[in-house]
Amino acid sequence: MSTWFEQNFPNVVYQGWSGDTGWWTAITQTIYMTFWSALFGGLLGLIFGLGLVITSPSGIAPNKTLFWIFDKVVSLFRAIPFIILLAFIAPFTKLIVGTQIGTTASLVPLSLGVFPFYARQVQVALTEVNAGIVEAAQSIGASFWDIVFGVYLREGRSELIRVSTVTLISLIGLTAMAGAIGAGGLGNMAIAYGYNRYATDTTVLATLLVLILVLAVQIIGDVLARRLSHK
């Protein structure tokens, strides 16, 4: 079996398992970028998504000015192609992490690239929360934060998990483009060490590993969403 693999996947074997260009390194870089970008970008997206719902004309704290700000910031960042965002915020990235190149440096553009997408997803998910439940909470004197955490986030948790799953899958795709700033990962392995060097076997394996990662995220997200669903 090992002989067959070496014959049919020579470039994969050449890359090795460890080292700066090894497969384990690429896998851990992709997971590292996905996890931390999802955490930072997710928190920012959740804040903006909540802000859009709460300050909307039908929200619990309508505020035309704040709603306009939230809406325009999200729309502006969504309009910038990610590959351009990488270059545009390079000075800001260097200010934050001290460098413009590398896996850690990619966390800044990845977080800023994913947050507007997630913010819109959160907005849609929370808008679907039954307005009657919100009104009932208000009628019994629930505080602002009681409604935010006890109604919006609690009642919308299943849908929030679903949109989080979609966002994570999209983020995994963005990590491939982060290779443009030397971020590494499976996407960079597929392009830099596979496609650019005509090493088809490297491209194929890197793609399969990305698909496995996406499938794992999808399965976990679906299971959690079903378990937390009120239906």
- Give 231's pLDDT tier (boundaries 50, 70, 90): low
Q: How many helices, marked H, and strands, marked E, lie in the chain?
A: 13, 0
Rounded mean pLDDT of 132-147?
Answer: 86
Which of 199-203, 209-213, 226-230 shows the highest mean pLDDT? 209-213
Residue 196 to residue 6: CA distance in whole angstroms: 21
pLDDT at 149 > cutoff 70: yes
Domain ranges of the chain: 2-228
pLDDT at 70: 95
Average pLDDT (41-50) is 95
What CATH number belongs to 2-228?
A: 1.10.3720.10
pLDDT for res 7: 67
CB atoms within 10 A of CB 104: 16
